[in-house]
Amino acid sequence: MSITIKDADGIAGMRVAGRLASEVLDYLTAFVRPGVTTAELDRLALDFIVNVQQCASATVGYQPPGYPPFPASICTSVNHVVCHGIPNDKALKKGDIVNIDVTVIKAGWHGDTSRMFIVGDAAPPVRRLCAVTYEAMWKGIQMVRPGGHLGDIGHAIQQHAEASGYSVVREFCGHGIGQTFHEDPQVLHYGRPGTGMELQPGMTFTIEPMINQGRRDIREMGDGWTIVTRDRSLSAQWEHTVLCTESGYEIMTHSAGTPVPPAFVARQA
């Protein structure tokens, strides 16, 4: 396992890339409404990334071993799509939920983040799924500190999600990130406290739980990328890139439009 510990210059580069990734989501927010297609959101995102930010999209053409090249600048995962949804020409409708996942490259550094969007309005159970998933991400983030363990993060996420009546997808996880899109370590969203790698200052990784309204079982669609819930229940995901600091954590994917943390984070700060 190869972990990259970022020095001051690396951390500065990650802050810039993270902010820019978050600003793509700020920009797209106004366009997420009934009638828009995810293909149009992808077009808007790529234009903004390339022509406004002077960045590159990390996902266009991205091809891990065994996968076809990813064809878009963002992932758009709608309703029962868990992750890696490919933008298409189907219009979003009122009541849909969509996760938009963005990774940009700036000066060699990667910024990776995602948010849930509710299209128009949605029923209370749908809003609750999105809210609990956001809380679960933050439960995990709060476990980031020197001397903590990766298992602490996963346990906090799993405990909150399952206590709320939801299930945690186990086949996909957070990951180290820096000058490479996906680095070690893998950051599981379930686990036992005190297990796994010990966290050190300078580590940067994503925390990005995928939480299902029904069972945790998933399946892959024929395009080789799109992952859906096997029972077609709704799924939600949020993602931040996080730095382990000398005293705790820093959110690296923060911008003017970033949603505020849940109230329990402010109370414990």
pLDDT (tens digit, 9 = 90+) per residue, 104-113? 999 999 999 9
Q: Of all residues in the chain, what percent carry a pLDDT higher than 90?
A: 97
Does residue 59 sit within a domain? yes
Among residues 114, 90, 101, 98, the alpha carbon closest in space to that of 39 is found at: 90
* Contact (CB, 8 A) for 19 and 111: yes
Q: Based on the structure, what is the number of domains in the chain?
A: 1
One-letter amino acid at 180 equals T
Separation between Cα atoms, residue 75 and residue 72, nearest integer Å: 7
Does residue 115 sit within a domain? yes
Separation between Cα atoms, residue 134 and residue 125, nearest integer Å: 14
One-letter amino acid at 18 equals G
Does residue 60 sit within a domain? yes
What is the CATH number for 96? 3.90.230.10
Q: What is the pLDDT of residue 1?
A: 58
Q: What is the 3-state secondary structure (H, E, C) of 66-96?
A: CCCCCCCCEEEEECCEEECCCCCCCECCCCC
Does residue 92 sit within a domain? yes
Separation between Cα atoms, residue 229 and residue 120, nearest integer Å: 23
Residues of the chain short of pLDDT 70, as ranges, are 1, 266-269
Q: What is the pLDDT of residue 2?
A: 76
What b/e sequence results for 29-44 when a residue is b if at least 16 CB atoms lie within 10 Å of its CB, and e otherwise? eeebeeebebbebbeb
Q: What is the pLDDT of residue 218?
A: 98
Does residue 1 sit within a domain? no
Does residue 3 sit within a domain? no
Residue 240's domain spans which residues? 8-268
Does residue 157 sit within a domain? yes
Does residue 131 sit within a domain? yes
